[in-house]
C-alpha cells in the first residue's frame, strides 16, 4: 500500500481523503475531491451542513459580504439561485448551502453528529488514523481540515456564572430550537458583530436590555436592500473581479493617499458612506490602515456621522469617543441597521465595562463593581472566538514521531501558505491562519484554497505520489512573510481576535495574511507552477 498512489484501489480500504467539517469550505472540498474520483468522505460535529451558519443561529445572524459575492462561483450553481437581499440572513445562507449540496451531492457522504477528537499519522503506511466521539477509527490517506477560523467559541470566565438561575447562551452555541427574547430582561456581553446583531433584535422585543460593552464597535450602516433578478447577468464579471481585489470583494481600495485635500476626501467619504456595507472600510483610500493621519481622517468622519444618531448625551463618548481607542478598521467593524436607535431606547442601558467591570454573575443577573445589580432573565455571551488556532488545539493531532500539532503552534502559527505544516504530512489546512481568511470575503478565499488543494491532490494522483509535506525552510519563509506583511499595517495597535489578543494567554501575532488576496493567490500559483516548490513528495 505504501507504493499505491492516491486513488489507486486500496487493499484494506482506507479512505483516500477525509474532509473534516461541512461548512462552506468542507462542502465544496468534498465535492472537488469526489469529482477527482477519490473515495472521499466527510465528518461533521453538527447534525447538518452549514458550519459557522449552523452554529451561529442567534437572532439577527447575518453576513456582511454583499450577496452576489457571498456564494460559490461554480458554473451551473449560481445561475439557478436567487438571493432575496443584499446582506443575507443565516437562515437564507443555510437554504443556499442546501441548494448547493443538491448539486454537489456530498452530504450523503458525510457522517454527522461526529466530532473528531484526534488524528495520528502512521508514518509507515502514510495514513491518518482519526478518532471521533461517534464512530470507529477512520483511516485515511489524506486529511483535509475544513474547520474554519471560528469553530471554537471564546467563553471568558465570569465568577458566579454557574449560579445564574436564568438562561445563558454563547451566540455560537445558540439552541437550534430558538430562544424567546420577547418580554424578557436580556443582558448581552460583547459588542462585536455578533453582539451588535443580537442587540438589534433584542431591542425590538425585550422588556429591558442591558448591553455590557468593553470596546465600542466602529460600525457601518448596512443599507440593506432587495436583490434585483436582472443583476444575475453580471455575476460572472463580479466573480472575476472578486479575485482581483485586495479583500476578495467586488470593490477595491482607492489607490491614492487620503491627504488629497479636505473637500475631495469629504466627497469620497460621503459617497462610500452612502453606499453602505463595508465600502467605507474596504473601498476607501489605501493608506487608511497603514498611515496614522489617514486613519484619523476616517475615524473623525465616522465619529461625527455616528454621533448624529446618538440621542443620549452620556452615550456619545462611550459609543463614539472624541479620540479613537484603536486605529480605525483594525478591529472588525460590524454592519448595523438600527443599532444606535436601540441604544437610544429608554428600556436599554449601556454599561461601560472599562469604568465598571462585571464583578460577579449572581442568581438573578449581573453585579458590577460599583455594586449595581442588573436583574436578567437571559444572558447572551457575544464574546467571540478563539480564532484560527482554537479549533485545532481542541483536536489531538499527532504527526511524524508522535509530535503534537498543538505544541507546534504553541509559540505561534507555522505553516506553508496556510495550507500545509511541516511534520504533519498528508494534512491540509483550509480557511485557517496564514491565509487571507479573516481579511477576505469567505467564498473567494475558500474557492482558491479548495481548488489549489484539489489540483495538488490531482498532481499526486497523476504522479503516483503518496505523501506530501511542507519543507521546513519553506514553512519558515512563509511564516516570516506573514509577519512582515502584517507589520506594515496598524493592526498591532489593536487588541483584536485577528491577532489572538482576545484570548488570555494566547500568542499575540499576525495570524492572517494581510497582503491582500491577489498577492496570496499569486504565491499559491507560483508554488504550483514551479512544480510545488517548497513541498516534499514521496
Ligand atoms: O466576536 P468579537 P464576534 N468581558 O471577538 C467582548 C465574524 N462574524 O462573535 O472588543 C467583556 O468580534 C469583546 O470586547 P473587546 C466576524 O468576522 C461575522 O462578535 O475585546 N467583554 C467584543 O466586544 C467577526 O469579527 C458576522 O474589548 C468581552 C466581543 O466580546 C467575528 O465573527 C457576524 C470579554 C467579542 O467580539 C467575531 O465576531 C458575527 C470579557 N471578558 C460574526 N471578552 C457578520 O458577517 C470578549 N468581550 C456580520
pLDDT of 13 higher than 90: no
Angle (deg, nearest 10), helices 262-275 and 292-307: 60
Task: State phi, psi for 336 to the nearest 5 degrees.
Answer: -120, 155
DSSP 227-267: PPGGGGGGHHHHHHHHTTSTTSSS---BSS-S-S-HHHHHH
Alpha-carbon distance of 49 to 511, in angstroms, equals 27
Give the DSSP letter string of 519-536.
HHHHHHHHHHHTTSTTEE
Find how far residue 226's CA is from the centre of its chain.
25
Distance 262 CA to ligand 1 centre (A): 33
Contact 478, 415 (CB under 8 A): yes
Distance CA(232)–CA(239), nearest Å, equals 11
- Per-residue pLDDT averaged across 412-424, rounded? 98
CB of 125 shorter than 6 A to ligand 1: no
CB 423 within 8 A of CB 400: yes
Ligand 1 atom at shortest distance from the alpha carbon of 191: 23
pLDDT tens for 63-108 read 999 999 999 999 999 999 999 999 999 999 999 999 999 999 999 9
Report the pLDDT averaged over residues 440-446: 98
Q: What does the DSSP 8-state code read for residue 17?
A: E
Sorted by sequence, the CB contacts under 8 Å of residue 282 that are 6+ apart come out as 245, 246, 247, 249, 251, 252, 253
User: Cα 521–516–82 angle (5° rounding)?
Assistant: 75
| Grid coordinates given for 359 | 464583578
pLDDT at 230: 62
Mean pLDDT value across residues 229-233: 76
Do residues 52 and 470 lie in contact, with contact meaning Cβ atoms separated by under 8 Å? no
Residue labelled with grid coordinates 445572524: 61
- Read off the pLDDT band of 142 (50, 70, 90): very high
pLDDT, tens digit, 9 for 90 and up, residues 300-337: 999 999 999 999 999 999 999 999 999 999 999 999 99
Residue 288, φ and ψ in degrees, nearest 5 = -60, -35
Is 506 a pocket residue for ligand 1 (Cβ < 6 Å)? no
Give this complex's ipTM.
0.98
3-state secondary structure of 89: strand
Identify the band that residue 232 occupies on the pLDDT scale cut at 50, 70 and 90.
Answer: confident
Going by alpha carbons, the residue nearest to atom 12 of ligand 1 is 192
DSSP letter at 268? H
Is the shortest distance between the CB of 64 and ligand 1 below 6 Å? yes
- pLDDT at residue 231 in the model: 80
Assign 11 a pLDDT band (cuts: 50, 70, 90).
Answer: very low
Determine the pLDDT at residue 196.
98
Mean pLDDT calculated for residue range 41-49: 98
- pLDDT band for position 228 (cuts 50, 70, 90): low
**What residue's CA is closest to ligand 1, atom 20?**
502
For residue 51 and ligand 1, the question of a CB distance below 6 A is answered with: no
Has residue 10 got a pLDDT over 50? no
For the segment 269-282, the average pLDDT, to the nearest whole number, is 98
C-alpha 347 – ligand 1 centre gap (Å) = 23
Q: Which atom of ligand 1 is the closest one to the Cα of 332? A: 25
User: Alpha-carbon distance 239 to 227, whole Å?
Assistant: 17
pLDDT score recorded for residue 9: 38
Q: 196 in ligand 1 pocket by Cβ < 6 Å?
A: no
Q: Reduced to 3 states, what is the DSSP secondary structure of residue 113?
A: coil
- What average pLDDT does range 442-468 have in this prediction? 98
Mean pLDDT of the residues in the chain: 96
- By most ligand atoms within 8 Å of CB, the mutation choice from 90, 153, 190, 220 for ligand 1 is 190
Mean pLDDT of 206-212: 98
How much distance in Å is there from the Cα of 217 to the middle of ligand 1?
Answer: 9
* Distance between Cα 273 and ligand 1 center (Å): 23
Cell of 527: 508554488
Question: Beta strands 116-122 and 396-398: pairing type?
Answer: parallel
Confidence of residue 18 (pLDDT cuts 50, 70, 90): very high
Residue 215 alpha carbon, nearest atom of ligand 1: 27
3-state secondary structure of 55: helix
Residue pair 280/273 in contact (Cβ under 8 Å)? The answer is yes
333 lines ligand 1 (CB under 6 A): no
Instruction: Give the pLDDT band of residue 229 (cuts 50, 70, 90).
Output: low
Does ligand 1 come within 6 angstroms of the Cβ of 62? yes
Measure the CA angle with vertex 166, ends 165 and 169; round to 5°: 120
- How far does Cα 222 stand from its chain's mean position? 19
**Cα 363 from Cα 374, distance rounded (Å):** 11
Check whether 262 has a pLDDT greater than 50. Answer: yes
Q: How far apart are CA 265 and CA 472, in angstroms?
A: 47
Q: Which three cell numbers stand for residue 141?
A: 490517506
CA 314 to ligand 1 center in whole angstroms: 24
Amino acid at each position: 500500500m505504501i507504493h499505491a498512489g492516491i486513488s489507486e484501489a486500496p487493499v484494506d480500504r482506507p479512505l483516500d481523503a477525509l474532509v473534516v467539517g461541512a461548512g462552506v469550505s468542507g462542502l465544496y472540498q468534498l465535492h472537488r475531491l469526489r469529482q477527482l474520483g477519490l473515495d472521499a468522505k466527510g465528518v461533521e460535529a453538527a447534525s447538518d451542513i452549514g458550519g459557522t451558519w449552523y452554529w451561529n443561529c442567534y437572532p439577527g445572524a447575518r453576513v456582511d459580504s454583499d450577496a452576489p459575492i457571498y456564494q460559490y462561483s461554480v458554473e451551473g450553481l449560481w445561475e439557478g439561485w436567487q438571493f432575496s437581499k443584499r446582506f443575507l440572513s443565516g437562515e437564507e445562507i443555510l437554504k443556499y448551502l442546501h441548494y448547493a449540496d443538491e448539486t454537489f451531492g456530498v452530504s450523503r457522504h458525510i457522517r454527522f453528529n461526529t466530532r473528531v477528537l484526534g488524528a495520528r499519522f502512521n508514518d509507515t503506511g502514510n495514513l491518518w488514523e482519526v478518532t471521533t466521539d461517534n464512530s470507529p477509527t477512520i483511516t485515511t490517506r489524506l486529511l483535509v481540515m475544513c474547520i474554519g477560523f471560528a469553530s471554537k467559541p471564546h467563553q471568558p470566565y465570569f465568577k458566579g456564572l454557574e449560579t445564574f438561575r436564568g438562561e445563558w447562551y454563547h451566540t455560537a452555541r445558540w439552541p437550534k430550537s430558538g430562544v424567546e427574547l420577547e418580554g424578557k430582561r436580556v443582558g448581552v456581553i460583547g459588542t462585536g458583530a455578533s453582539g451588535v446583531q443580537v442587540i438589534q433584535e433584542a431591542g425590538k422585543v425585550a422588556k429591558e436590555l442591558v448591553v455590557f460593552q468593553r470596546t465600542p464597535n466602529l460600525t457601518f450602516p448596512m443599507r440593506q436592500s432587495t436583490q434585483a433578478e436582472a443583476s444575475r447577468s453580471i455575476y460572472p464579471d463580479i466573480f472575476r473581479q472578486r479575485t482581483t481585489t485586495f479583500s476578495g470583494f467586488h470593490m477595491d481600495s482607492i489607490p491614492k493617499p487620503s491627504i488629497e485635500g479636505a473637500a475631495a476626501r469629504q466627497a469620497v467619504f460621503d459617497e462610500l458612506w452612502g453606499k453602505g456595507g463595508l465600502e467605507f472600510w474596504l473601498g476607501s483610500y489605501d493608506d487608511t490602515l497603514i498611515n496614522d493621519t489617514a486613519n484619523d481622517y476616517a475615524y473623525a468622519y465616522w465619529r461625527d456621522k455616528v454621533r448624529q444618531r446618538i440621542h443620549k448625551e452620556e452615550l456619545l463618548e462611550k459609543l463614539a469617543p472624541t479620540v479613537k481607542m484603536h486605529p480605525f478598521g483594525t478591529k472588525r467593524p460590524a454592519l448595523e441597521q438600527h443599532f444606535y436607535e436601540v441604544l437610544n431606547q429608554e428600556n436599554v442601558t449601556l454599561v461601560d465595562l472599562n469604568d465598571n467591570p462585571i464583578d460577579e454573575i449572581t442568581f438573578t443577573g449581573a453585579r458590577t463593581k460599583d455594586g449595581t445589580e442588573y436583574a436578567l432573565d437571559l444572558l447572551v455571551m457575544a464574546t467571540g472566538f478563539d480564532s484560527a488556532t482554537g479549533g485545532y488545539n481542541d483536536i489531538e493531532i499527532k504527526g511524524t514521531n508522535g509530535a503534537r500539532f498543538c505544541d507546534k503552534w504553541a509559540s505561534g502559527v507555522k505553516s506553508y501558505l496556510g495550507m500545509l505544516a511541516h511534520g504533519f504530512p498528508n494534512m491540509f489546512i483550509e480557511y485557517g491562519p496564514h491565509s487571507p481568511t479573516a481579511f477576505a470575503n469567505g467564498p473567494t478565499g475558500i474557492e482558491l484554497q479548495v481548488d489549489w488543494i484539489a489540483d495538488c491532490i490531482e498532481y499526486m494522483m497523476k504522479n503516483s505520489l503518496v505523501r506530501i509535506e511542507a519543507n521546513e525552510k519553506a514553512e519558515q519563509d512563509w511564516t516570516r512573510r506573514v509577519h512582515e506583511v502584517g507589520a506594515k499595517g496598524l493592526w498591532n495597535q489593536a487588541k483584536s481576535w485577528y491577532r489572538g489578543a482576545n484570548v488570555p494567554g494566547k500568542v499575540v501575532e499576525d495570524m492572517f495574511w494581510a497582503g491582500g488576496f491577489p498577492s496570496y493567490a499569486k504565491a499559491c500559483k507560483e508554488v504550483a507552477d514551479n512544480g510545488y516548490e517548497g513541498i516534499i513528495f514521496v
